[in-house]
């Protein structure tokens, strides 16, 4: 963290902001402020250089054309985005962080190669609540969010899944998301970090370089339990 202010880069929000994923930046800022730490969101627009000096980078969701534009732009600044950098991508952002993704027109596009993952269009769009058991990184805290995508993503040996699907589609093979070093991708909207505070704090812990003091937010915990319970009931009804 530089100058005692955590700078959170929101990459290309005008093309990767279709599903409200820009809210993830606000969630991270607020969780830092609750701990007495200063934070600011630094939007980086399409056509602007991506600075290498930010503490954390976020990518959101978008449609095929916007996703291809985003990937082409971000490839120019690949040196600013390394596996050691804390990066979080949602939906299209997940696919852009991978090695390759294919549009509905059949054209393949190179990703950033920060996740060992390739994506192709599936036969049916996944639109539903998504629940997954998390990896050991999150101490088995369940993951929850809303998915809206056509992509089927296959992980290579260089990435681990973020979780295993309990309800919904996720990557399309029973896994959800991907993790390599400090780079995380997911299909969870919501925003994801509002609905999964343990995931938000994992990113912030990596950014700070040390564990952060826990937050006592019973109202957030209560709403999270209610959401998970309601989704599970719909699954069994």
Question: How much of the chain, in percent, has pLDDT values that exceed 90?
Answer: 84
Residue range 43-86, pLDDT digits in tens: 999 999 999 999 999 999 999 999 999 999 999 999 999 989 99
Task: Show the tokens assigned to 2.
Answer: 């530089």
Going 200 to 204 to 115 to 92, the CA torsion angle's sign is positive
Asked whether the predicted pLDDT for residue 237 surpasses 60, the reply is: no
Omega within 30 of 0 (cis) for the link into 5: no
| pLDDT at residue 92 in the model | 97
Q: At residue 177, what are phi and psi to the nearest 5 degrees?
A: 70, -170
Residue 230: is it exposed, middle or buried by C-beta count within 10 angstroms (0-12/13-18/19+)?
exposed
| pLDDT at residue 140 in the model | 80
Domain coordinates of the chain in residue numbers?
Answer: 5-236
| pLDDT at residue 3 in the model | 54
Pick among 3.40.50.2000, 3.40.50.880, 3.40.50.620, 3.40.50.10490: CATH of 5-236: 3.40.50.880
């Amino acid at each position: 963290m530089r100058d005692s202010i955590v700078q959170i880069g929101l990459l290309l929000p005008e093309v990767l902001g279709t599903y409200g994923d820009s809210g993830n930046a606000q969630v991270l800022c607020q969780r830092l402020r609750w701990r007495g730490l200063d934070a600011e969101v630094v939007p980086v627009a399409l056509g602007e250089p991506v600075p290498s000096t930010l503490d954390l980078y976020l990518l959101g969701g978008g449609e095929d054309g916007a996703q291809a534009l985003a990937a082409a732009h971000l490839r120019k600044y690949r040196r600013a985005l390394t596996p050691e950098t804390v990066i979080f991508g949602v939906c299209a952002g997940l696919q852009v962080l991978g090695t390759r993704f294919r549009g509905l027109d059949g054209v393949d596009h190179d990703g950033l190669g920060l996740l060992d993952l390739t994506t192709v269009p599936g036969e049916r769009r996944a639109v539903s609540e998504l629940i997954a058991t998390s990896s050991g990184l999150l101490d088995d805290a369940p993951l929850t969010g809303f998915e809206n995508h056509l992509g089927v993503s296959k992980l290579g040996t260089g990435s681990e899944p973020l979780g295993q699907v309990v309800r919904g589609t996720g990557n399309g093979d029973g896994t959800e998301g991907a993790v390599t070093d400090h780079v995380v991708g997911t299909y969870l909207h919501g925003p994801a970090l509002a609905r999964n505070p343990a995931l938000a704090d994992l990113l912030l812990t990596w950014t700070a370089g040390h564990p952060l003091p826990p937050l006592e937010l019973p109202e957030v915990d209560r709403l999270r339990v209610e959401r998970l319970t309601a989704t599970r009931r719909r699954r069994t009804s």
